[in-house]
Amino acid sequence: MHTELAPGPWSPLRVRVYRWLWIAGLVSNIGTFMHLVAANWTMATLSSSPTLVSLVQASWAVPGFLLALHAGAFADLLDRRKFIIATQVAALLVAAALAVAQGTGAMTPTVLLAGTFLESMALTFAAPAFMALTPELVDSQTLPQAIGLDGISRNAAQTVGPAIAGGIIAIGGPGAVFALNAVSFVGVIAVVNGYRGGAVRPTRPEAINAAIREGVRHVSSRAVLRNPIIRLATMTAAGAGLVAVMPLVARQRLHVSASGFGLLSAALGLGSVGAVWLLPRLHAAQHPERAVLAAALVWSGGTALFAAAEQLWVGVVALLFAGAGTMGMLNVLFSNYTLKLEGWVRGRGSALAMLMVWLGTSVGAVAWGVIATGVGLRNALFSAAGFNVVVALVAPLIAPVTPYSADADSLTSPPSVS
């Protein structure tokens, strides 16, 4: 009997359009993570308030909470090519404006927060469109590999972007990072502009509103879809405290320079890459609750170690564990959710998952920043570590997540349209 070999992990790169878009997306992702480092570092130099510094993370997260559902509907109903180009041009202009503000001495906390908010808004609108575009570029056999490559792109960017940003800040200041981030969007614009596939979609506002309602109703009415995204929100809220106060810990406790902060940020990304490679070997998909609990324990251990750290190398080791724990929790829950999400609603369903992640990050970043202002950085991080373990233990009792195989047969038919 003839047995067809499964496509290799890099097989989608044989498709020319996908290959160039993946490369351009990697460059853009690196620019995005560079922006986040520069924005956090800039705010830490403008203010020593943990609450104000944590608002950088919140300003990045809030657009996803406000706009994710509309972004998902637009991805299903608009011309994706034109929509992606428009969002990338908008992101380019915002990054360029921040570079000018930094270079001319006009940067203030308000300008920084507004620019970060607008940059996140543009990328929030783009994300579901990119997710929906991938199946148009590759065939069904290589689609899982393409999704995996997209994850590798983001994790690789999270690893190298902060390190590059730290070096550039040390040499040319945060303004140079904002300028390079603006340039990073050019490749995506060029590749998408040259793509001529895909169907043109209607633009009726009533169709967008109906699509949003249908997507929310479908996911919220099914526990196998509802529970994983509820867990995404709670776990990201519990874990947002680390990133929210990390710049202040780097400056006030570890006394590192911008390049040292870039190294700390890169450690989070490197830990995430390690988790991506390790999870399949642990059969996380077959045992999601066990995998999420293990990841939560790893994150909490790393966060507690970072709270106690007084040397850079200890902070790096701690953040390697914290990065692995974060990616472990996100990967298991999001993969579980995506496998159970039917293709006809995948764009809106993905946007809804984005919404829950941004919601958790927004609320968590502000809350932990306020807590840190009241009890101090170290106590806030210890509290976040303990709270995360409590959430991981209690959440399965309220919103259990089951393996995909247990529910796959019940999620095959779309609802009838009335």
Averaged pLDDT in 10-residue chunks for the chain of 418 residues: 52 88 95 93 87 84 81 80 94 97 94 95 90 74 68 78 88 95 97 75 61 87 93 90 86 84 83 72 74 93 94 94 88 78 74 84 86 91 94 93 60 39
What domains are there in the chain, each with its CATH number?
A: 13-195+206-402 (1.20.1250.20)
What's the pLDDT score for residue 286?
75
What's the pLDDT score for residue 403?
85
Question: pTM of the predicted model, to two decimals?
Answer: 0.70
Could you write out the DSSP letters of every residue in 299-368?
HHHHHHHHHH--SHHHHHHHHHHHHHHHHHHHHHHHHHHHHHS-GGGHHHHHHHHHHHHHHHHHHHHHHH
What's the pLDDT score for residue 210?
83
What's the pLDDT score for residue 407?
45
10 Å Cβ neighbour count for 343?
10
Q: For residue 247, what are the contacts with CB-CB under 8 A and spacing of at least 6?
A: 40, 41, 43, 44, 53, 261
Cα–Cα distance for residue pair 221/224, rounded to 1 Å: 9
Cα separation values, 358 from 93, 96, 193, 365, Å: 23, 25, 29, 10
What's the pLDDT score for residue 144?
59
What's the pLDDT score for residue 132?
72
Cα–Cα distance for residue pair 166/264, rounded to 1 Å: 10
What's the pLDDT score for residue 8?
60
